[in-house]
């Protein structure tokens, strides 16, 4: 593979690069920022593609508090153009994908083996500059090599898929299960495919937006229905028992509450979506106890990046058609509102596009 030449003298002479900067909730501007410095343990990557996530939209709307200004974007892949003096295992020209979840390694949770719950978590694209930029400096330990069988464009889907792998792990989907997935956007469709790979006999996708029904069917859902139809669908498949696992993937509080109406006694409800921090939901504590329900969340992607890369590179997870729109940096603010797009899937940013 032809190597990209190093950026000679980058640390000494700082140029300027374009980035989409969140100035405050509701305002993103394309600005020129300092060429990122490469610290000894970091690598600078030229960003090829960066996905837009529901978390980005929550931050933009002010529902998920972050310190501003900040460059958003935490689902990204690119090519290494510079490495720090202490970096090993990563070289200029390497194609890489980013794990954005930078941890402190010293808090209680890191030392207890649950680093994704780190008290000092400082994610790229959330607490520090991320991938909505031409160049991004990343601690090299958070870079994963992209195999030759995987394009950088598809590699930008590794981070959300890795989160979904974690979600399926948390849901404990087993062979023979009936799984209901609420929400058939890109994330819901990843979860549908992963539930299938985990042995689910029946997968039901619940999606109020009819134009997304085709995506869910292609992902492997046996039945795609609207929220008003789901109880009848489950009745047809399982009788009065209910679903073994219900996964809420839309991020809507109303949908999270509705998940409990579909799960059987002894079943699992996985709250996977990104919900507004100030919203509460109403759930029967009596039923959780009486029916011995298992209610779990799923945060980030602890040690699941490598598995996600393998799933994509081997084509066990199909991503054809997942990305519906590829935009330039000047359109990042527009990407924060799905109402601007016709039948949107995953929206991605190409920082090199003008």
Contact 22, 72 (CB under 8 A): yes
Please state the φ and ψ torsions of residue 349, each to the nearest 5 degrees: -110, 130
The structure tokens 């070289």 sit at 91
Contact 345, 207 (CB under 8 A): no
Contact 66, 79 (CB under 8 A): no
Res 14: pLDDT: 58
User: Dmax over Cα atoms in the chain, in whole Å?
Assistant: 69
Contact 216, 234 (CB under 8 A): no
CATH topology of domain 162-297: Rossmann fold (3.40.50)
Cβ neighbours for 317, distance < 8 A, ≥ 6 positions apart: 161, 190, 193, 194, 197, 308, 311
- E strands present in 87-226: 95-98, 135-139, 143-145, 178-182, 202-206, 223-225
338-347 long-range CB contacts below 8 Å, 24 or more apart? 338/57, 343/211, 343/212, 345/185, 345/186, 345/215, 345/321, 346/51, 346/52, 346/157, 346/160, 346/186, 346/322, 347/51, 347/52, 347/323
271's enclosing H/E stretch is strand 263-271
**Which pLDDT tens digit goes with each residue over 238-284?**
999 999 999 999 999 999 999 999 999 999 999 999 888 888 999 99
CA distances for 75 relative to 101, 111, 126, 169, angstroms: 11, 26, 11, 21
**In the 8-state DSSP scheme, what is residue 290?**
H
Res 43: pLDDT: 98
Residue 200, SS3?
coil
Beta strands 243-248 and 178-182: pairing type?
parallel
Separation CA 92–CA 61 (nearest Å): 37
CATH topology of domain 16-157+322-349: Quinone Oxidoreductase; Chain A, domain 1 (3.90.180)
Say if pTM beats, i.e. exceeds, 0.75. Answer: yes
Res 8: pLDDT: 38
**Domain ranges, ordered by start, for the chain:** 16-157+322-349, 162-297
Q: List average pLDDT for each run of 10 residues in the chain, which is 354 residues long.
A: 40 76 97 94 98 93 91 98 97 98 97 96 96 98 97 98 98 98 96 98 96 92 97 95 97 95 98 89 96 97 96 95 95 94 90 87
Structure tokens at 69: 């200004």
Structure tokens at 293: 């329900």
**Which pLDDT tens digit goes with each residue over 321-346?**
899 999 999 999 999 998 898 878 89
**In the 8-state DSSP scheme, what is residue 35?**
P
Contact 260, 283 (CB under 8 A): yes
CA distances for 313 relative to 42, 58, 149, 189, 244, angstroms: 26, 30, 6, 18, 30
In degrees, rounded to 5, the angle at the alpha carbon of residue 54 between the alpha carbons of residues 301 and 56 is 95
**Does the CA dihedral 270-273-279-282 come out positive or negative?**
negative
Ordered alpha helix ranges (H), 9-127 = 54-61, 108-111
């Amino acid at each position: 593979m032809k190597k990209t030449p190093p950026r000679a003298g980058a640390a000494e002479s700082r140029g300027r690069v374009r980035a989409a900067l969140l100035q405050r909730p509701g305002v993103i501007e394309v600005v020129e920022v300092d060429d990122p410095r490469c610290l000894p343990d970091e690598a600078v990557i030229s960003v090829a593609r960066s996905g837009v996530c529901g978390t980005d939209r929550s931050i933009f709307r002010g529902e998920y508090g972050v310190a501003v200004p900040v460059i958003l974007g935490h689902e990204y892949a690119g090519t290494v153009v510079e490495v720090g003096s202490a970096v090993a295992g990563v070289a200029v020209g390497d194609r890489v994908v980013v794990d954005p979840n930078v941890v402190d390694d010293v808090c209680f949770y890191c030392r207890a083996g649950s680093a994704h719950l780190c008290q000092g978590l400082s994610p790229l694209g959330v607490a520090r500059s991320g991938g909505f930029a031409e160049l991004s400096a990343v601690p090299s330990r958070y870079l994963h090599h992209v195999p030759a069988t995987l394009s950088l464009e598809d590699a930008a889907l590794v981070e959300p898929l890795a989160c979904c792998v974690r979600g399926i792990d948390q849901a404990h989907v087993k062979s023979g299960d009936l799984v209901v997935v609420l929400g058939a956007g890109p994330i819901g469709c990843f979860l549908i495919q992963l539930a299938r790979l985990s042995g689910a006999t029946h997968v039901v996708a619940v999606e109020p937006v009819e134009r997304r029904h085709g995506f869910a069917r292609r992902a492997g859902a046996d039945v795609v229905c609207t929220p008003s139809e789901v109880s009848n669908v489950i009745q047809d498949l399982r009788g009065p028992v209910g679903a073994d696992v219900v996964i809420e993937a839309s991020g809507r509080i109303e949908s999270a509450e509705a998940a409990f109406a579909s799960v059987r006694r002894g079943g699992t409800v996985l709250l996977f979506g990104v919900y507004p921090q100030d919203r509460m939901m109403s759930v029967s504590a009596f039923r959780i106890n009486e029916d011995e329900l298992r209610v779990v969340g799923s945060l980030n992607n602890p040690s699941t990046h490598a598995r996600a890369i393998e799933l994509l590179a081997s084509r066990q997870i199909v991503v054809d058609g997942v990305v519906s729109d590829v935009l330039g940096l000047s359109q990042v603010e527009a990407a924060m509102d799905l109402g601007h797009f016709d039948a949107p899937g995953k929206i991605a940013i190409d920082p090199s596009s003008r």
